Each structure stands twice: as C-alpha cells, then as structure tokens.
Amino acid sequence: MEGSVNHTLSKGVATIIFYHPQSNSLPGNILNELAERITLLGKHIDVKVIVLKSEGDRAFCAGASFDELMAIENKESGEQFFMGFAKVINAMRKCPKLIIGRVQGKAVGGGVGMAAAVDYCLATKYAAVKLSELAIGIGPFVVGPAVERKLGLSGMSQLATNATEWKSANWAMEKGLYQDIFEDIELLDDAVDKLAKTLSESNPEAMSELKQTFWSGCEHWDELLAERAAISGKLVLSEFTREAIQKFKGK
C-alpha cells in the first residue's frame, strides 16, 4: 500500500498528484485510485480542467511495479493487474474535462501511456521516454493504442521495438507526445499554470465537445484494452519474463 494519490481544487483547476517511492511506479492500488479520481473529478461541477502530475523533481513515472509483476501467479491476476492501466487510460478518454499532463522527468512504459492519454502534455527537457516492456518479455499492449494515437504507428513501433533505448524529450515533442518542452521545472509549472487558468475560464460545454472530437474513433477501447490486458497477463507468467524482471531488479 505504499504511495498515494491526492488532488487539490482551486479556481476550477483540479490537480491530481500521484506518488510512489520507487520512482513514481504504478502498483495496482495507485492505478485504481487514479482511475477513480479522474472519473470523480470529471463529474465534479466545480472542476473545469484537470492537471495530472507526479511528485518529486526526477522521474515522472517508472511504469509497472516490478514487485507486483513478480507476485502475479495466474492469468486472472495478471489480467487484473494490467487492467489497472486500461482503467486509467479509459478514465482519461471518457473524462469530459480536458486533462493537462505535467511531465517533469523520465517516463517509462505505463508512464509513457499516461503522458499519451492526457489531452495536452507539457514537459521538461529531461523527460526522456522509453517503452521497456519487450525487454522484460511482455510488450506495451495496453498502453500501445494511446501511444500510437499520439505518436502514430511509426513512433510507437520505434519505442516498442527498441525497448532498451531512451528517446529524448525533443524526439517526443517532434512526434507529438509533448506539445512543448522547457528548460526546468519552474518554467514548466509556469506554462502549466497559465494554460490551466486559460482553460478554466473557457466555455465548459465547448471544451467537452472538443474533447469528444479529440477521441473520436476510440469508442471501442473498453473492449480493446481488456483484450490487450489479457495478452500481457498471459505473457507475464512466462519464464523469460520472470528471469528478465529479476535481472532488472538486481541492477
């Protein structure tokens, strides 16, 4: 039960902050709480726009929790774990409020998926990205649709195939994952605050309609991401994956 998800609400801007001591990784309890919090704030009458961020000044998100991956004992529990990522992505997709992502540092795996699922993402120059799933014998099946939607099939396949190489924040911006990058966190926060304030004063109905157009064609993702979670839930049980995760944990 390590880690936390909290939020603040001020002048129409809801800020969701998640934290985990292992580089803001995402165990099941954090994933479930994120999905619930996004859904709740999306329905809140006083919320005009949502900002999603993690604590600290280093990693934005290290992706799946290796400890929980190693604890998976059967296909059902594996599928349930990866459904956590599906729930967060679908919660962001269905949320009627625009979501701004604030990425202060490196994003791995599920962290890249979260950055891709927000509606507008700002980052620092230190926010390199990597889809490392293939390196541990799985593959970015659940986050793949969200990443492909932002980066295109070419960009997503580059990240998914070269699973051990970081891509720079500049690369991520050129591909469309980030809308702008900044020299440091202070400048990033200024930009996030400015955009959030502008959106909080915009027409909520227009923003909700606009968001629906952004996500047009993704209405089948409840089923799609569930199918992808089942694939990952099966692969995580392989001997290859078990050994690969142990190697990563030992580094």
Q: Which residues of the chain have pLDDT under 50?
A: none
What CATH number did the domain enclosing 173 receive? 3.90.226.10
Domain range enclosing 55: 4-186
Are 29 and 1 spatial neighbours (Cβ–Cβ below 8 Å)? yes
Q: How many domains does the chain have?
A: 1
Could you tell me if residue 110 is inside a domain? yes
Indicate whether this model's pTM tops 0.85: yes
**What does 158-180 look like in DSSP terms, one character per residue?**
HHHHSTT--B-HHHHHHHTS-SE
pLDDT at 251: 63
Cα dihedral 79, 82, 87, 93 in deg (nearest 10): -120
Q: How far is it, in rounded angstroms, from Cα 79 to Cα 151? A: 26
Asked whether residue 122 is assigned to any structural domain, the reply reads: yes
Tell me, what's the pLDDT at 248? 77
* 212 within domain boundaries: no
pLDDT at position 2: 86
Q: Which residues contact 207 (CB under 8 A, 6 or more apart)?
A: 48, 49, 97, 98, 199
Q: Which residue has tokens 């502008």?
A: 198
* pLDDT recorded at residue 9: 98
In a domain, 219, yes or no: no
Identify whether 247 is part of a domain.
Answer: no
